[in-house]
Structure formats: C-alpha cells, structure tokens
A and B are shown apart, each in its own frame.
Chain A
Amino acid sequence: MKADVVVIGGGIAGRMVATLLAKKGLTVILVTRGLGATALSSGSFDILGFIDGRLVRDPLEALNRVATNSPEHVYALLGRGREACRIMCKSLGLFKDMIARYLKIEGTFDKNMILPTVIGTLKPCAYAQETMKSGDVNSFNGEHLLIITLKNLVFHEGSELFERILVSGLTPGKVERISHVSIKASGPSLTCSPLTLAKALDKEKAANRFANEISKILASIPGVTRIAIPPVLGVDNVHVVYEILRENVSLPVFELLSSVPSVPGIRLCRALERMSRGAGVKIMTGWEAMKAHVEGNVVRELSVRHELSGSIERIAGEDFVIAYGHILGGLQVLDDSVYEPLLGMTLGSITIFTEPFKTLSFALKIGIKVDDDMRVLIGGEPIGNLYACGAALGGVDPAREGIGMGLALSTAYKVFTSLTS
C-alpha cells in the first residue's frame, strides 16, 4: 500500500488535514483505530475559554496575546500574534465550509458564547453546532426557560438537571423563571440510548411528532421564551430536524451541550467521516499504527495492525502525519511517563500529585514536540517528513483552558500548509 500522505488518526485533526490534502489532489490514506476524544466532545468548538481560570470573552484577542507573550505555549506554533490569529480564522473558516454539507456550525471568533451543558455548567466557546447557538446566555434577557427532558432516555434524567441548571450561576436577570417538563419522545423502546433516540428523530415523521408534542406543552405553559432540549436532535439529519422544530415552535430552541457519552460528538465524527470520504481520502478503519520505519531522518513506511483480525500491513508514503490524539488516543502512559509508540520515545515523566485531576492535567501538558513547520522533533532534530497536529501536541488541559477543536483544526491546517508549500 502506498500514498502521497499517510495520516494517522481519525479525529478532527486527522480528518481536517486528510480532507485538505485530498482536495488538493494528493492521494491520502487515513489510518484510524476508531474514535477518540472528538467523539466525546460536547458539541462546542473551543479556541480559548479560560486563562489562569479567568473567563475569556474575546478568544481571538486572547489568542493574539498568548501567541505573542508565551512562546512556549502550543498556540505559539501557529506563529506570533496576528499570524496565529490568521491561521486560526482561516482553518475554522475552511472547516466550517467543508463540513457544512454534513453538519452546520456557527459562531464568531471575537466573542465566546456561554453555553449551558446537560450537567448544568456553563461553557465558553467560539463556535458550536447550530442547534446549540440559541443557548448562548449572553443573549438571555429575563427569560422564561422551558427545559424539556426525555423520559425514555437512559441518561440525562429530568429533575436533577433542572435543579443543577438553577444553581449553576445563571446571572440574575438573565433567567427569571424555569419550567420543566418531561416527555416521551418517539423512540424504539421505552428506555433507549441517546444515540438510538437521536437516530429515531432523524426521520422527519418522528421529528414532526416531537415538534407537535412541544407545541402542545407550550400551549399549557404561558410565557415561555426559550426552550432547552437534551442533545439528541438527530444524528445524520440534524439540520432538517432542527428546521422542523424551529418552524413548529417559533421560539429560540437549543440543545444543551453534552456530557459523555455524547451524541453531538458522534454526530461530528460521522460528519467528519462523510467529509473525508467525500473528498476521496482512503480510510482504513479499525487499524492501529504500530511503528514508523525511519531511515536516516525520514520515515519510509508505517506498520499497521488490524485490531480485530491481528493482520499486519505496511504503508509507504512521501509524508506522514501524526494526528492520533493524546492519552485517550495514540500516546500511552507507561511507568509514570508519556510514551510515543511509533518512534518509541518517552516524551516526559508524570509527576504524581495527591489530587488525581492535577496529575491528569500535568500529563495532558506532555506531548509531541515539533518545529516551526510542525515536523516531529527527536532530541531537538526534526524528522524530514513526519508531522504532528491536534491533541497529540499536548500542551493544554482542554477542560480547564477551554482549548480543544480550535487547536486541533488550526494545527492541522498549519501541517497542511507546511506540507503543500
């Protein structure tokens, strides 16, 4: 097997770089074990949410500052100041257009939305799936919020959520009243998984029934101004489902951001699969990259193993891109250090703190080191044709810093530009 470029990892970073390259006319093989962190994400696209625990209002301005003042920050890889901002805007813009056929995302670069989650927390983010945008509490003003929960769902149970949202610190004045109704959405069985329910709603008939049900409820609760729904409004057909809902309900209605497991995450992954396949990327699903065969300072081949059958193949390529995620992906934790398996290098050792979260946060900072062209460094020297992007670069704690897809997309785009320049 052979391709111009071999991409390792089928999360958002790998799909982005593979799609861009395929659209340029290169032959691309994408090898992926399956799903990773992208599938667990909540539905938002985070550029920068917090700096030192403080909420970031303007992510682009904050990115400019970080990339200028902190050369050791992973965002500095994009370039200094405005250059970093340019790459971020370009990558998100391209991505938004490429994925639009399969999934719509909305937002702006210069103002973080503040979106409520199913567990009642509030999350800053620059972009989000279109179904979530009306949940931006920045735009709330004395709302009467109706929270709809779904009886036939095994997760996201009703009343508890309701309380948590109440105590989650919605600024007084933003929400004046909260009502809560629990209904049974049309689903195949009495209690089904959120994904099954979302798939059922993909059908227009079911979506219409659901919308009617909500209209009926609205008739019995006067004064509602906004409606929150668990994130199950379809999987592959979410745009149509959402249109149906909007037409029938004629009030701002939004999905809450998800916890794990996440329908919006899986929705995104399915859209990514269609986007990259549509661009002509050859996708090898269920294969794990095991070893990069290096000669001199270039990678010649990659050994991959099919997980369920155990069979082994070698793939040759001109260039290789690591996009296999962090420790929920290709990086491994071995004997208290973070280990890179393809080249067999230890990236750093983990300090164990008494609080587990601190340890995790520390581990997440460790990642693959790259040069200005995003080429992987071994002992300070770059490998000529091996690049890295996405969560594999480490350097951030996504939850604490509100950095995620934005980093994955912008570094993927940077790899693309290095590879094609």
Chain B
Amino acid sequence: MYNDLIKEVDPCIRCGNCFMICPVVDLLPPSLKALNLLPLNLSRYIDFIKLSPDLPYYCTQCGECVLYCPLSIMTPRVFLLLREFSKGQALPSKIRDAILNTGNIYGMPNEMRVDWVTYAGLSGKVPVGVKADVAYFLGCMTSFRARLQKVAKACAILLNKVGESWTILGPEEHCCGLPLLFAGYVDAFKEIANRNVGALEHLGIEEVVFTCAGCYRVFKYEYERRGVKPPFKVLHVIEYIADLMKEGKLRLRRGKSKLNITWHDPCELSRYCGLVDEPRFILKALTDNLVEMSDSREWSKCCGGGGLLRAVHTELSSSMAKRRVEQALEVHADIIATACPSCILTLEEGAKGIIKVKDIVELVAEAF
C-alpha cells in the first residue's frame, strides 16, 4: 500500500495548486495547513497518523484538486489509502459496524426504511419489494432523515405521475457502501455491493433511479470497479427527468417563481460523473432566472458534506457550507437547488434560513 501511495504522488512538482484551492486546507489552522499539503508531506503524514488517526479525514473527497493539478495526481485517492492506515478511528468504524449489523449508517432497524411512506401520507401508493421495471433506491439519509423524506415523497409523486411500473426495496435496501469506501473498508464494501445488486436483480429491475448523488456514483462506477457489475441501467433522477422532458412525457409548469434559482453542483454528480447540463436543462424549464455562482459546473465548490468530513470534523464542514451559501447570496439567489441529500443537509445548516435549499425533485414535483 505504501508503494501505491508513493506511485500516486511521485510526479508531484510541488506547484502548490492543490494546497491553494483545497476548501478544507483553507479553513485549517496554520499548523495543520502545512501538513495537509499531502503529496509534499507524505512520509511525515504517515508518522502523524499514528498519533492522530483522524488526520486523513481532513478531505471531503471533492476532487477539485485533481482538476487543478497539472499532473492530475489523485489526491483524494491518496487520502483514502491513508484512511486504510488509520482504520482505528472511532467514528468511521462505528459507521462500518452499523452498516454491517443493520444495513444502514444510523444503526436503525432496517424495516424502518419504509416509515417515510406513512409520514408522507403515501400509504398504499408506494410499492415495496415488488417486481417492476424501475426501482427507486433512496439511500440511508433519504430513508431516515425527516428533511430528506420530503425528497423521497417528491420522487414517489413523480414516479406515480408518469405512471411508471416501480418499486422501492424497503427493508431489502442496504447502505450503498460509499461510507465504507470513505473509511477504507474495501472488503465490506464488496459484500454490500453484492447484496444490493442481488436484491434488485431478484425483482427483475431494468432501471434504478437515485435521488442520492453518492449512491448513484457508487452504483454507476464503483461497484463495477470492484468486480460487481450491475445488470441494470443506473440513472440519477436528474437524468431520468431530463429524458422524460426530452421525450415529451413530462411537462412542467413554469414556476410561480420569479425567484432566482442557483444550481449547486454536487461533487459526486459534476466532477465525479459529469452531470452538469441535465440539471440546468430542467431548471431552465422551471424558471427564467437561473443564476450561476462564481464556482460552478465541474469547478463547483464542495459544500463540506462529503467524504465523512462532516462526521469527523463537523465544525469545519459547517464553515465550508457557510462559504458556499455566501456564493449563492452573492448572485442574489432565492433558492439553492441541488440533488444530493448530503449537500441539502449541509447547505441548509449553513444557510440558517436566510436562503432556501431545495432538491430539484421537490421543485419539479411543485411544477406539475
């Protein structure tokens, strides 16, 4: 593993670009700043990890540094490898235990994954574990967090509206495994990938739709990279909606909104999956006032909610969210639209009610 690390950082020319643009480094106290110039400091870093195992968690895995590196060094991957060195860190190992024991990151009984249906007043309108063409994979956060259950509701309304043959997995849905990757537990990740793909295959699913950007990326790319190839189509709901609109199967009322909407590109969708045009296409149908923040598309700034940073260094994550919200205020946005549960919770906290944060599916469901 040490060799993998060295190989990854070997071409580094010490230009300092990664250091200059990393949104985490920028908020660290000076002593930690220097250390976090990772490719430069690798050997020192490894010594320090022994003393302080949460060091490699000063990274949201946002991937921005990769674009700024003239040699495309995968610094986020280096951080992941380093996390394998520091598996003892308390919180990530707790999350792993929760996932393996209960099937979700919160350690709740997995049967509770369907509770939102009742809260949303959709009893009888959400098929659970039936054979269908399309499955909606919620992910842990959307299944369990009250704020995000509204997103699930909007997505369910959308699927019913277009008359899709669809289902959720309910108790058979397991965490997608991304937190396991973030915490350096690759074997456990594979196990969980097999379980999820198996459950979907069992129901004869042809297309899986996601509202979670992280789950989507994992299904789309990371399962296969680790030898578990999904036999179904993987779509983020923004692709699903954009396709429906292009085929004329979904008409949206132009919002009541004279409101300015800005799109916050989740790292998982923009940088990791290249989905930058679809959300803008949808939003342009909803408003005449789509405004762009100074950092957008592939060059978007991370909200602070990724890579377990929020779990391990919560305050830092909040400071990052505040910065991102400031960018939205600078362009006079009334609503930050996005499509990632983690971005929603993090940004909403940073927004402190000054500005609304909405999932794009919520906006779409309001515009039928």
Contact = CB atoms under 8 A, between A and B. Distances in A.
Q: Name, among B17, B217, B273, the residue most crowded by chain A CB atoms within 10 Å (CB to CB).
A: B17
Contact of A308 (B27, B66, B297, B323): B66
Interface in A403-417: none
Contact of B17 (A35, A288, A310): A35
A328 B70 contact: yes
Consensus secondary structure, chain A interface: loop
Contacts of B30: 154, 191
A311 B221 contact: yes
B71 A328 contact: yes
Interface in A304-333: 306-311, 325, 328-329
A40 B72 contact: no
A309 B274 contact: yes
B67 A261 contact: no
A300 to B, nearest CB: 23
A294 interface: no
Given A36-B70, A288-B72, A195 B20 contact: yes
Contacts of A361: none
A236 interface: yes
Given A35-B67, A260-B16, A306 B72 contact: no
Contact of B15 (A189, A199, A261): A261
A193 B21 contact: yes
Contacts, number: 90
A40 B70 contact: yes
A193 B18 CA distance: 11
Nearest to A191: B30
A273 interface: yes
Contact of A286 (B20, B67, B70, B217): B67
A190 to B, nearest CB: 8
A39 B17 contact: yes
A194 interface: yes
Contact of B274 (A154, A273, A288, A306): A306
A195 B66 CA distance: 17
Interface residues of B, number: 35
A202 B13 CA distance: 29
Interface in A11-41: 33-37, 39-40
B19 interface: yes
B288 interface: no
A235 B271 CA distance: 22
A310 B225 contact: yes
B69 interface: yes
B274 A286 contact: yes
Nearest to A235: B294
Contact of A194 (B15, B20, B69): B20
A199 B323 CA distance: 11
Contacts of B26: 188-189, 192-193, 196
Contacts of A36: 70
B148 interface: no
B173 interface: no
Most buried by A among B15, B71, B323: B15
Nearest to A332: B11
A308 B298 CA distance: 12
20 contacts: A34-B68, A35-B69, A35-B70, A39-B68, A40-B17, A154-B30, A154-B33, A189-B27, A191-B30, A202-B294, A270-B299, A285-B67, A286-B67, A286-B271, A307-B66, A307-B72, A309-B273, A311-B221, A325-B70, A329-B70
Q: Which 8 A-B pairs have the closest CB atoms?
A: A34-B67, A285-B298, A261-B20, A261-B16, A328-B70, A309-B221, A193-B20, A260-B15
